[in-house]
Amino acid sequence: YLIKLSEKIQPQCKKLSSKKVVKSMSARQKLEAQLTENNIVKEELHLLDSQNTVYKLIGPVLVKQDLDEAKATVGKRLEYINGEIQRYETLLKDMERKSEQHREVLASLQQEYQRAQGIPVAKA
């Protein structure tokens, strides 16, 4: 019985960890999309010249921006996004490791459980 309980606990832990994994995964995907987008923006800004006025949408307002400033801003945003992505990647790795550990523990518990089952059967 104890074994059963412990086994039950294990899957729960795994599930919890897997939810986190899913969350972080989705966040990472978002960041990746932003990354590509900002890359495109950077390239397009490069195509423009200073004659064009650049605006930034802040809320309902279009705020005029300098082309160079815009370029710098976009560059910074790109770096920020890259950093976020890396952070999420490490998080995911850790979570994977944890889940694997959980799985191993679960497997061992299952084996014990089966053994325990086998012994009573033999006795019976």
Partner 1 sequence: MAGNMNANYDLPQGVERLKEEHRKVVKDCKGQITHWKKVEKDYESLQERLVTLPDKLSYDIMVPFGPLAFMPGKLVHTNELTVLLGDNWFAKCSAKQAETLVEHRKKHVKNKLDDLHKVMKNFQSRAGFTEDLEKMTNDNGDFVDIKEKVEEEEAGTKGKHRVAHKPKSKPKEEYVVQLEEEREEEEEEAEGEDGESSKRVLSEEELWARLDELERMEDEQDERDRMDSTDTNGEDTSSSSSEEEKEAEAGREAQVNGQSQCENQASVSHIVQVNGIAKPQHDEEAKEDDDEEEEGSSLPTIYFCHTVEPKKVRINTGKNTTLKFSDRKEQKQQGKRKKKNGKTNSHSIQEHHKITSPSDIYRVFVDVLNGELVPRKSILKSRSRENSVCSDTSESSTADFEERRTFFGRAQSHDDATHSDASDGITEEDSPSISLYPNGRFEAFSGTVVEKDPLPSSIPHLTIAPPALPTIPERKQEEVSSEVPQEPIKRVSKFKAARLQQK
Number of residues lying near partner 1 (CB under 8 A)? 22
Does 18 contact partner 1 by CB under 8 A? no
Per CB under 8 A, the list member of 32, 37, 84, 94 interacting with partner 1 is 37
CB of 70 to partner 1, least distance (A): 6
- Gyration radius (Cα) of the chain, Å: 26
Which range binds partner 1 by CB under 8 A, 19-27, 39-47, 87-95, 97-105?
Answer: 39-47
User: H-helix or E-strand containing 43?
Assistant: helix 2-47
Could you tell me the smallest distance in angstroms from the CB atom of residue 41 to partner 1? 4
| Residue 71 or 87 with smaller CB distance to partner 1 | 71
User: Reduced to 3 states, what is the DSSP secondary structure of residue 118?
Assistant: helix
Would you say 67 and 48 are in contact if contact means Cβ atoms under 8 Å apart?
yes
Are 31 and 120 a contacting pair, CB within 8 Å? no
CA atoms within 13 A on the CB side of 4: 2
Name the minimum Å distance from CB 67 to partner 1: 8
Read off the DSSP letter of residue 76.
H
Q: Point out which residues bind partner 1 (CB under 8 A).
A: 34, 37-38, 40-41, 43-45, 47-48, 52-58, 62, 65, 70, 74, 77
